[in-house]
Chain A
C-alpha cells in the first residue's frame, strides 16, 4: 500500500503550487475578488495554458485523462491559495456533466473549450426550496414542438455570472423531489428570458441566482436522456465532493500552519501563547482534524471516478461529513487561538476560516451527509 502521489501526480501538484505562489498573494486575491469579474482572468488563462483545466478530460478531447486523484491535487493547491476561479463549477461539474451525459455533438461543441479554459461553464442544480437535495427540482421544461421551454429558478450558481454556458436541471415529468423526470439542459448564457441576480459570496467569490422565464432551447440542448438526469447529477456531484475535499484540505493546511506559527510568535504574559497547554492541546486537535480530513479526501478521490455503487455513495457522504466538521473545527478554534487578530479582514487567516465554513454549505453540509450516510447504512 502506498498513499503517496506518483511522480506525474506530484509534478502536477507542484506546477499548480508554483503558479499559485507566483500569482496569488493575499493582496492580489482581494483585488481579484473586488473586480467586476470576481476572479483573475489572467490566472484563469494560465490554468488553461498549463493544461490544468484539461486535467479530468479524456485525451481524445484534448485532456489529460486525470482521475479523482489528479483533480484533487489541483484543488488542494487552489485551496492553499484560496483561489476563487470557478474551477470546480466549470471544469469538474460543468465539464463532468457534459462528458458523462453529452452526445458527440455536445462534447465537440463544449468540452474542447472547457478543457482549454476558453469556455466557462456553471451549473444550476439547486433551487430556493431544495436545501441540499438535488432531486428537489421544481423548474419545469415543457416540450413545445421541437423545443423545450424552461421556467423556474436556480439558486446559488457560483460562477454563473460569467459562464458562457449553464447546465441546469429541470423537470420534464414527475413531482418535485422525484428522482425520475429530471432532465439536464445546456443553456447558453445569452439565452432570451434568462435573467441573473449577481452577488458576491461571503468567502470572496461571485455567483448568481438564475431566473428562467420561458427560456426556449432546441431539442439538441437536452443533455443525456430525457427524465434520466438524476443519476448523472448524483454521480457528478460525487466527483465534485471529492474535488471539494481536496480544496478543503488545502485550506485547512494553511489555516493550521498560520495558527501554529502564530502560537509560536505571539507573546502574552512574557511567553509565546503556545506555551499555554489549553492552546497546545487545541492545536493538536486541529492537526488531528486535518489528518482525518486528509484521509477521507484520499478515500473520496479513490472512488470519485469509479462506477456508481452504494459503497461509492457512502464514502463520498462520509468524506463530505468529515470535511464539514473538521473545517468548522479548524475555522472556529483557529480564530479563537488567534484572539482578536483572527477576526480581521486584513489578516489572511480570517479568509481561510470563512472559506472552510462555506465549503460546508456547498453540495451538502455535515448534517445532510450524516443523514444520507445513515440512510445508506440502513439500505446495506
Chain B
C-alpha cells in the first residue's frame, strides 16, 4: 500500500498550480469562492483559457483534442481547481454528450460537434427528464416520428439545466411505441434554434433561474442527428449516466465549502468570541470534516482501482450518496453560522460588483439560498433513493 503521490504526479500538481496561478482570472475565482452567480460570459471566458491550454476535454482521446490524464491526474486537477476557485465546467457538452458521440457517433458527427464543444461555440443542455419521467426515465414520452430524412419531434422536457444559454440539446426520444419501454428510445441531437422549440424558465425556491422546461412542437430534426442506431438510445443514455455519476460525489467541492465555512466561523461571533471557538459549533464542523476525510479516501480508492483498470461499481453510487449528504451538511452549518442573518435575502450582494456595505458578512448573502439550492444534490443525477436501489438490487442481490 502506498498512499502518496509519485514524483511525476507531484510534478503534475506543480504544473497545475503554476497554470492556475497565472491564468485563472481573479474575478472569476472570487465569484466561485464567494458562491456568487457566474454569467454565461464568465464560463465562456474560462473555457477558452482551458481550451488554449489543452486541458478542457479530459475525458476525450487525444485525436479529438482531449488530454490523456490518468485518474489520479484528474483527481489532482479536481482538488486543485476546487481549492483555487475554478468554475465547475458545465458538463453537458464536454463530459456528457461528447463521450457518447465519440463512442457511438458517426465520423461526421465527431467532426461537426467535437471542435465546436472545444471552442465553446456550442453550449449543450441535457434533455432527459420529462414531467412524467423522472426517476422512471424509461417511461419518457417525447415522440420522434420519421418523415423522410427528418424526425418530427413532439413533447416536453423539463429541469433542463441552463437550457436558457444553450444552442444544442441532446434528447432521449421515443421512436417506437410497440416494444418494451427501454427498447423504443433514441438519442437525438437537436439545434435549439429549430422552429417549434420553446424554452420556459422554472424558478427554483431560492429565486434562481437555473432550470427550464423545453417544449417541442412539430420540430424537424435531420436524421443525421440521430446518434448510433434508432431505438438503441437507452444503451447510450446509460453509458452517459456512468460518466455523470463519477464526480457527483463532489469531494473537492466539499473541501472548498468546508474551508469557506471555517473562515466564516472564524469571523462570526458568539458570546463575544469567534464562533469556531464555540465547543458545540466546532464539534459540528469537526464531525463533518471527519466524514469528509473518510469519503475522500473512499474516493481515492475508487480512483486507484479505475487507474488499475477496474470499473467503478457500487462504490461510486454509495459515494455519491455520502458525498452529497456531506455537502448538504456543510451548507447547513454555513447557514447556521450566520444566525439571524440567514433570514434577510439581500440579492444585490450576490453580485461581485456590489460596492455598498454588506449587511453582515461579505459572504453571508448567498448562504441560505445556497443551502436551499443544494437540496438538489440528493435529487438529480439519479436521486439518492435510486442510487441505493441500484446498490441493493444490482450489487447486493436484494
Which residues does A use to contact B, with CB under 8 Å?
Answer: 126, 128-129, 131-133, 136, 155-156, 158, 176-177, 197, 199-203, 207, 209, 267-270, 276, 278-279, 332, 335-336, 339-340, 342-346, 350-351, 353-354, 357-358, 361-362, 365, 367, 370-371
Complex Cα gap A351–B360 (Å): 24
In the complex, which residue of chain B has the Cβ closest to the Cβ of A358?
A: B343
Residues 347-398 (chain B) with a chain A CB within 8 angstroms: 347, 359-360, 368-369, 371-373, 375-376, 378-380, 383-385, 388
Would B135 and A339 count as touching, CB distance under 8 A?
yes
Would B205 and A128 count as touching, CB distance under 8 A?
no
Would B379 and A340 count as touching, CB distance under 8 A?
yes
Query: A279 to chain B: closest CB distance in Å?
Result: 8
Complex Cα gap A203–B342 (Å): 10
Would B385 and A136 count as touching, CB distance under 8 A?
no
Q: How many A-B pairs fall under 8 Å by CB?
A: 136
Cβ–Cβ < 8 Å partners of B202 in chain A: 344-346
Cβ–Cβ < 8 Å partners of B342 in chain A: 202, 357-358, 361
Cβ–Cβ < 8 Å partners of A136 in chain B: 271-272
Which residues does B use to contact A, with CB under 8 Å?
Answer: 129, 132, 134-136, 139, 158-159, 202-207, 211, 268-272, 275, 280-281, 284, 335-336, 339-347, 359-360, 368-369, 371-373, 375-376, 378-380, 383-385, 388
Given the known interface contacts A131-B269, A268-B134, A339-B134, the answer about A345 and B203 at a Cβ–Cβ threshold of 8 Å is yes
Cβ–Cβ < 8 Å partners of B204 in chain A: 343-345, 350
In the complex, which residue of chain B has the Cβ closest to the Cβ of A205?
A: B343
In the complex, which residue of chain B has the Cβ closest to the Cβ of A351?
A: B205
Given the known interface contacts A345-B207, A346-B203, A354-B372, the answer about A361 and B378 at a Cβ–Cβ threshold of 8 Å is no
Would A353 and B339 count as touching, CB distance under 8 A?
no
Query: B101 to chain A: closest CB distance in Å?
Result: 27
Selected from A201, A268, A342, the residue in CB contact (under 8 A) with B136 is: A268
Complex Cα gap A136–B271 (Å): 7
**Residue contacts A-B, CB under 8 angstroms, 19 given:** A128-B341, A128-B360, A177-B271, A199-B346, A202-B206, A202-B372, A207-B344, A267-B132, A268-B134, A268-B139, A335-B375, A336-B375, A336-B378, A339-B135, A339-B383, A343-B373, A344-B202, A354-B372, A371-B280
Cβ–Cβ < 8 Å partners of A267 in chain B: 132
Would A199 and B359 count as touching, CB distance under 8 A?
yes
Q: Which of B132, B159, B344 has the most chain A CB atoms closer than 10 A to its own CB?
A: B344
Would B379 and A361 count as touching, CB distance under 8 A?
no
In the complex, which residue of chain B has the Cβ closest to the Cβ of A353?
A: B205
Selected from A197, A340, A346, the residue in CB contact (under 8 A) with B129 is: A340
